[in-house]
Structure 1
Amino acid sequence: MGFSKNLHKHLAAFGIAALCFGYFASYIPFSMLTKMLTRGMLPGMNGVGVSGFEIQPVAALGTCIGMYLFITLSKWWKFATHSKILGVSVPRPQWFTFISGICTSGIIVTTVLAYTFQGISIVFAMLLMRGGVLIMAPVIDMIVKRRKRKIYWPSWIASALSFGALIIAFSGKAGTAITFIAGADICLYLFSYFFRLYFMSNRAKGDSTDERKRYFVEEQMVANPAMLILLFIIGWFGSASDPVGVAGGFWQGFVSFPFKGYFLITLLIGLLSYSVGLFGTLIFLDKRENTFTVPANRSSSIMAGVVATYLLYMFFGGKAPATDELVGAGMIIVAIVFLAYRSTMDKRKAALKMANKSKPGL
């Protein structure tokens, strides 16, 4: 049995639970290694980390390698839209998957950067990113043409809890430590996610498995190469600027960082980043509404962030998560329960409706 058939068989058996576990299992080492590399926690670094901007090019290369390996081994290239160039059939994106791919590249870069800022823990960064997307979920469900629907009370309560978690997170010490660049990074992350989920909900969240695979392949074939190209262009124009800055850091990531001895560990971070993105995207592409798929995705990452933070604290000299961050994480988990409640009720109503239809005389 080939890789593609094995993959389909296992996903069919465990469904979205398998995707959530894969997301959780990938996120722990991804966030830990990123924090360890940039905070100087790896053996021989003696507390002197590398810039979060420097590691981006090699990490982006890792995501590109991961993307091409997965799509090739799974034989999913055939699902993409194709055009003939000089008689050769070549996969290409549609306009909406192209835009979604650009948004995805922004999400990848901003996610890696979020775990590199000084004074901001993994849990705090995750509260800002995950809480923001949770607030978006019912709004996107309401405005998407293909799935326009009433937003029920569990979604509003969950949004309020998510907003409360953000307020609690900002009320602690980490809230005062956030810099302009860190804030801009989180805002770009949320901006990119809004449009990605909007296009995904309009174009791919349906009953057709082939259509979901088409969207996945076309989005991914844009996202990862575009990210690497964008980093190079920004770095090229900033090649003469301060290496500590954004553009200068990107350029150093191309010309000097690969030779500092951390190439393989950073490539691994990129591969893990792709694994996170792979499972996360497949969760989002589930045909159910965003008020189900977003909580499934976010719960996995919140739990992974807490586990990663405690592992760094216990074994690598990192800081334990602050009380306000744990309270915020708890509120996000409660919000997820409320969001999942609505989908559970929908499934029960659908099952009851089918049962009533099957009764004779009805």
Structure 2
Amino acid sequence: MQTPHDDSHDLTIWAYAFGYFAAYAPYSALTKALSSGALPEMEHGIVGFALLPVSAMTSMVGMFVFLSLKRWWRYAAHRQVLGLRVPVPGPWTFLSGLCSAAIIGTTTLAYTLEGASIVFMMLLMRGGVLVIAPVVDALSRRKVRWPSWVALALSLGAVVVASGTEARATLTLVAGLDVGIYLVSYFIRLRAMSRLAKSEDKSLSIRYFVEEQMVATPVLVIVLALVALWGGAGPAADIREGFVGAFSRGTLLEEVLVGLLSQGTGIFGGLILLDSRENAFSVPVNRASSVLAGVVATLGLSWWLGMRGVGGRELAGAVLVMAAMSVLAVPTVLAARRREAAARAALGR
């Protein structure tokens, strides 16, 4: 059983939550606009599978640049390969990287699939991960504190309320597979994080993050390239078009931006989940940020492109999200203030 510790004064997770929100809102809005063909001068939308190649390659470049600028490569395990010392993932981080690659792909596809409401997909994906969080905590023998339970319930309620009557789409085979892969991947990823990285030792979290990230987008790009080369019709043809038609569609800049923003959500979202507190704390912070971003993205698309705006249910969901984040944030902020006051008092003696 893992020893509980008091890290309630740590406010870093809220900076990550803002970064996640700031990346997720334009990412989801731009992906929806591209798939709907709603951008100016677009004659038709881009199929979801065709959006993946450029966005995945851009995400991969963004990952290498970010880790290099942060100088985090040194945290990963290293081996000698052909006389060079290179970073390598461990078995668990490699598996988690594969799951992260699946999450990246299924998240992008969720905003583009035909026959399934985007809001309905968000209900299944966001709600599913919220349900998984305490299960993983129980399996990892982590104590779940009462603010986390309250925020978990409020966050799940927000997703249900925001979906409301919109959650009535037929779940196609592709949509069902998309959700299933997404949830299984998150379960394995959260389990691996709880086992190896959710610790007071920040170096362990950074090591896990680096080793996971160095696997995720390169694997996704390789899989897409192999499918494009040897696949047949259907999704494989769409992926092939995503590669060969990158310069002819006239939306290369927007697709690159989707990839960069997607990597931003991966960076900040991953750092939120690696917070040393229980998953029932970190997952609602992650999910609440994305729900708020979804509301803002919908508002942006309405004002910018005249697409459907935010309904009353979505606004009610946003209020519940704010309540959930307040339940989590207030004890953290108060603990930080008490710690700061105690430190001042100690210095004044």
Residue 291 of structure 2 aligns with which residue? 302
Residue 182 of structure 1 aligns with which residue? 175
Q: Which one of the candidate residues 40, 49, 55 is aligned to 2:45?
A: 49
Whole-Å separation in 2 of the counterparts to 1:309 and 1:175:
19
Q: Which one of the candidate residues 7, 22, 36 is aligned to 1:39?
A: 36
Whole-Å separation in 2 of the counterparts to 1:329 and 1:127:
14
Q: Give, in angstroms, the shift of residue 159 of structure 1.
A: 5.3
Whole-Å separation in 2 of the counterparts to 1:170 and 1:303:
13
Q: Give, in angstroms, the shift of residue 186 of structure 1.
A: 1.7
Matching residue's letter, 2:187: F
Residue 248 of structure 2 aligns with which residue? 259
Q: Which one of the candidate residues 264, 281, 296 is aligned to 1:275?
A: 264
Q: Give, in angstroms, the shift of residue 16 of structure 1.
A: 1.8
Q: Is the 8 A contact 2:126 2:159 kept in 1?
A: no
**Measured at CA, do residues 17 and 265 of structure 1 come closer, stay the same or move farther in structure 2, by a change above 3 Å?**
same
Stretches of structure 1 lacking an aligned partner (at least 5 in a row) = 1-11
Give the SS at the match of 1:176: coil
2:120 equivalent to 1:127:
no
Q: Is the 8 A contact 1:107 1:193 kept in 2?
A: yes
Q: Is the 8 A contact 1:127 1:328 kept in 2?
A: no
Residue 235 of structure 1 aligns with which residue? 228
Q: Is the 8 A contact 1:63 1:271 kept in 2?
A: yes
Give the SS at the match of 2:86: strand
Residue 116 of structure 1 aligns with which residue? 112
Q: Give, in angstroms, the shift of residue 204 of structure 1.
A: 0.5
Residue 103 of structure 1 aligns with which residue? 99
Give the SS at the match of 1:175: coil
Whole-Å separation in 2 of the counterparts to 1:183 and 1:167:
18
**Measured at CA, do residues 250 and 63 of structure 1 come closer, stay the same or move farther in structure 2, by a change above 3 Å?**
same
Q: Is the 8 A contact 1:136 1:194 kept in 2?
A: yes
Q: Give, in angstroms, the shift of residue 180 of structure 1.
A: 2.7
Stretches of structure 2 lacking an aligned partner (at least 5 in a row) = 1-8
Q: Which one of the candidate residues 182, 187, 191 is aligned to 1:194?
A: 187
1:68-115 deviations in whole A, cap 9, x for unaligned?
100111111111100001221011000000000000000000111111
Give the SS at the match of 1:54: helix
2:238 equivalent to 1:249:
yes
Identity of aligned residues (%): 47
Residue 204 of structure 2 aligns with which residue? 211
Matching residue's letter, 2:186: Y
Residue 14 of structure 2 aligns with which residue? 17
Give the SS at the match of 2:79: strand
Q: Is the 8 A contact 2:151 2:284 kept in 1?
A: no
**Measured at CA, do residues 272 and 72 of structure 1 come closer, stay the same or move farther in structure 2, by a change above 3 Å?**
same
Q: Which one of the candidate residues 33, 54, 60 is aligned to 2:56?
A: 60
* Aligned Cα root-mean-square deviation (Å): 3.0
Matching residue's letter, 2:282: T
**Measured at CA, do residues 236 and 302 of structure 1 come closer, stay the same or move farther in structure 2, by a change above 3 Å?**
same
Matching residue's letter, 1:27: Y
Matching residue's letter, 1:68: F
2:288 equivalent to 1:291:
no
Whole-Å separation in 1 of the counterparts to 2:86 and 2:115:
46
Taking CA–CA contacts closer than 8 Å with sequence separation of 6 or more, which of the two structures ends up with the larger relative contact order? 2
Give the SS at the match of 1:318: coil
Which segment drifts farther, 213-222 or 315-324?
Answer: 315-324
What's the TM-score once normalised by structure 2's chain length? 0.85
Whole-Å separation in 2 of the counterparts to 1:262 and 1:39:
13
Q: Give, in angstroms, the shift of residue 314 of structure 1.
A: 2.0
Q: Give, in angstroms, the shift of residue 315 of structure 1.
A: 2.0
**Measured at CA, do residues 22 and 160 of structure 1 come closer, stay the same or move farther in structure 2, by a change above 3 Å?**
closer
**Measured at CA, do residues 167 and 281 of structure 1 come closer, stay the same or move farther in structure 2, by a change above 3 Å?**
closer
